[in-house]
Amino acid sequence: MKIAFLGTGLMGSGFVRRLRATGHEVNVWNRSPAKAKALEADGAKAFADPAAALMGVGRIHLSLSDDASVDSVLEPLAAQVATTTWIVDHTTTAVSPTAERVARWKARGRSFIHAPVFMAPANALEGTGLMLVSGDQAKHDLLLPALQQMTGKVLYLGPAPERAAAFKLFGNMTLIGILGVLGDVNRLAHAVGISTSEAFSLFQHFNPGQMLPARAARIESGDVTQPSFEMTMARKDVRLMIEEAQRGGMDLFVMPGVAAMFDAAIARGEGALDSAAAARVPD
């Protein structure tokens, strides 16, 4: 198939090379023309004008930065997109604007599919990783074989077209949150005179990530009356972390927010429950 790929940064370039490796003809465009031009070495054809890149294509793929960039690139092209051309957006976007975007293109008689990914550039090149898709089931089924060429797994999340955007944010929130926690670990370590490498060596033996599914399941089930880690004790530990860091001249960034979450739950009378109760949304 002839494909247009708009946005050839690290992820987009990996996808383009993967598409070329699986036999597709690929037109490419990028705001920084040199990034698109570099892909001609892989057999892609670079265009300075995104409208010109659409000529004769069966699919348009996008890998851009945000909602505004998607709309700023696509909206001027509305008249150039053929009714038979699929639009597949891999950009991480917000939930409400994604729903509005899909509805807008549907009203134009076009098929817009949001398909964000949990993939590094190397995964895009190798065709490994996880791609999220939501929207009309029939459209998903038609597009699935093509998407499977691009990734190791495609996860269908239901008919509401904005659900993939939500689940992408859930995943990125977790990854970014882990980075924030590691930042606080690093600050606490320096406050007590332990180097980053020494502090992080703990994770060669202790993997907190293994506990994530069980903790998530406990939050989901609401089974918090038989605590494995009582909330008041967890709040005490957070206090120790914050105070010890301050003694060493360091302020933590994530733990004060966790403290506020625990304090709100304790104020609701939940101090004797499992600490997972603090993560629930109160009725």
> What is the assigned CATH class of domain 2-159?
alpha beta
Same fold, 2-159 and 167-279: no
Query: Helix axis angle, 231-247 relative to 163-191, nearest 10°?
Result: 50
pLDDT of residue 9: 95
pTM attached to this predicted model: 0.94
CATH architecture entry for 167-279:
Orthogonal Bundle (1.10)
pLDDT of residue 49: 95
> Dihedrals φ, ψ of 111, to 5°?
-100, 110
Q: pLDDT, tens digit, for every residue of 16-43?
A: 999 999 999 999 999 999 999 999 999 9
Q: Percent of the chain at pLDDT above 70?
A: 100
Confidence at 283, pLDDT banded by 50, 70, 90: confident
Query: Any idea what DSSP says for residue 60?
Result: E
Domain boundaries, the chain: 2-159, 167-279
Helix (H, G, I), strand (E, B) or coil at 46: strand
Helix (H, G, I), strand (E, B) or coil at 66: coil
pLDDT of residue 95: 98
* Cα gap 97→75, rounded to integer Å: 14
Q: Which secondary structure element, helix H or strand E, spans residue 153, and what is its range?
A: strand 153-156
pLDDT of residue 217: 95
